[in-house]
């Protein structure tokens, strides 16, 4: 079970919740709008961590790591339908995830695992090509990941 949150530029609050059944839900509200609930994805395995990103093109991205060793991206907005893709699979149970789109438009997702492995997947949106590989290894379980482009 995991959660993340964001405040949109229009003042709308978003809370994203993922549970041990693999269900990802968004709650949203503002000072002038009542709370709404929307199911974003069913991932089929317990979600250990999620991370939200809103990109400059108006698209919302929610990255999720699951206990069955997969990383997922759910995205929607700016005319795009709600879509969920598997970014990386067949790794150890994912315990931590973080995604970020760099200024050059390349999307990066880092996934830490229960065995201390950290993977990076990156791609240019629309290219159809995702490059993934083990980025590093630490002793013990990865409990947190973050990535900042400077």
Q: Output the pLDDT for position 148.
A: 72
The CA dihedral of 52, 55, 57, 58, to the nearest 10 degrees, is: 40
Q: Output the pLDDT for position 150.
A: 58
Q: Are 104 and 122 in contact (CB under 8 A)?
A: no
Q: Are 92 and 118 in contact (CB under 8 A)?
A: no
Q: Which pTM was predicted? A: 0.92
Q: Which pLDDT tens digit goes with each residue over 3-27?
A: 889 988 778 899 999 999 999 999 9
For the chain, percent of residues with pLDDT exceeding 70: 99
Q: Find the range with the poorest average confidence among 39-43, 117-121, 132-136.
A: 132-136
Q: Which pLDDT tens digit goes with each residue over 34-86?
A: 999 999 999 999 999 999 999 989 999 999 999 999 999 999 999 999 999 99
């Amino acid at each position: 079970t995991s959660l993340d949150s964001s405040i949109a530029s229009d003042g709308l609050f978003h809370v994203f919740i993922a549970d041990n059944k693999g269900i990802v839900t968004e709650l949203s509200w503002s000072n002038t709008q009542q709370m709404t609930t929307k199911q974003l994805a069913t991932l089929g395995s317990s979600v250990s961590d999620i991370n939200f990103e809103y990109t400059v093109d108006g698209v919302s991205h929610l990255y999720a790591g699951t206990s069955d060793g997969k990383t997922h991206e759910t995205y929607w907005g700016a005319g795009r339908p709600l879509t969920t893709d598997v970014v990386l699979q067949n790794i150890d149970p994912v315990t931590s995830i973080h995604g970020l789109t760099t200024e050059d438009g390349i999307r990066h997702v880092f996934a830490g695992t229960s065995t201390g492995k950290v993977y990076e997947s990156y791609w240019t949106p629309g290219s159809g090509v995702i490059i993934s590989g083990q980025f590093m290894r630490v002793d013990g379980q990865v409990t947190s990941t973050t990535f900042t482009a400077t």
